[in-house]
């Protein structure tokens, strides 16, 4: 679907298979309660204003580089990505699941990315979960998102200013491409970074070399604090194999079995 030079448009309750939504030079566009399956990308918005993507589902991004995101804003002013669920199974080929490329909010109203659940990434060696500030940008808040094994990284600030990353849960086990849970580093030498912050996130990340690597802050001006190290999650199925469940007086009791 193409949305070109449109204003005040809502797309909702639709299913997209093998094709996404392309938005260009449009204003006040909302994508709501839609499902994307085996698509090269979900929503790509270019030179547009106030783009909202909410309550959507996406299963298996199967695009080619560079256009293989669930959501990418490219030179977008204002918007929101919220309450979406993305699941990439083996065989999917996502880059950045959510990408903010040279896109900005304002001091009064940031771009908001929140309450998204993102699972699965790779095999890209550069892609990951949520990318902020790619080639610059300003005033974006990323919070209360839950990411599991999203690829090379979990959440990134790769440029720009006034980016806030807080209250997220980022979990990554060792894979062939895993690198870092959350990072701040300026990959856009033409612009400086300022007033970026990473705080109160919960992180567990093992890189491809089997080394714990939760956080990398390579920006002297960035603020970071109260980020919590998570423990490795327990595999319930394996735990059940090594235990026995009994019920005593209506209570469920797990008895360990020594091996």
Interval 93-139: pLDDT, tens: 999 999 999 999 999 999 999 999 999 999 999 999 999 999 999 99
Domains in the chain, start-ordered, CATH in brackets?
2-233 (2.160.20.10)
Distance separating alpha carbons of residues 218 and 77, to the nearest angstrom: 27
pTM: 0.90
User: Tokens 């939760």, residue?
Assistant: 214
Q: To 10 degrees, the CA torsion angle through 97, 184, 234, 89?
A: 20
**Which residue did the predictor score with more confidence, 129 or 64?**
129
Q: HSE on the CB side for 38, CA within 13 Å?
A: 3
Among left, alpha and beta (phi > 0; psi -120 to 50; other), residue 177 is alpha
What element of type H or E holds 237? helix 236-241
């Amino acid at each position: 679907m193409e949305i070109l030079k449109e204003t005040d448009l809502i797309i909702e309750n639709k299913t997209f298979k093998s094709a996404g939504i392309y938005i260009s030079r449009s204003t006040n566009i909302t994508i709501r309660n839609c499902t994307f399956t085996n698509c090269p990308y979900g929503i790509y918005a270019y030179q547009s204003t106030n783009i909202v993507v909410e309550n959507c589902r996406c299963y298996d991004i199967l695009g080619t580089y560079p256009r293989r995101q669930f959501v990418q804003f490219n030179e977008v002013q204002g918007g929101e990505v919220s309450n979406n669920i993305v699941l990439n199974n083996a065989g999917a080929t996502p880059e950045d699941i959510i990408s903010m490329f040279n896109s900005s909010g304002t001091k009064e109203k940031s771009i908001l990315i929140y309450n998204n659940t993102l699972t699965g990434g790779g095999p890209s060696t550069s892609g990951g979960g949520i990318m902020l500030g790619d080639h610059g940008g300003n005033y974006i808040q990323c919070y209360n998102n839950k990411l599991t094994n999203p690829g090379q990284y979990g959440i990134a600030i790769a440029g720009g200013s006034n980016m806030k990353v807080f209250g997220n849960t980022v979990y990554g086990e060792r894979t062939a491409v895993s690198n870092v849970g959350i990072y701040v580093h300026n990959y856009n030498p033409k612009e400086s970074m300022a007033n970026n912050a990473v705080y109160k996130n919960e992180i567990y990340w093992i890189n491809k070399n089997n080394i714990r690597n939760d956080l990398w802050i390579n920006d002297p001006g960035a603020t970071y604090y109260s980020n919590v190290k998570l423990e490795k999650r327990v595999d319930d199925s394996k735990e059940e194999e090594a235990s026995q469940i009994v019920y005593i007086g209506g209570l469920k009791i797990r008895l360990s079995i020594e091996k």
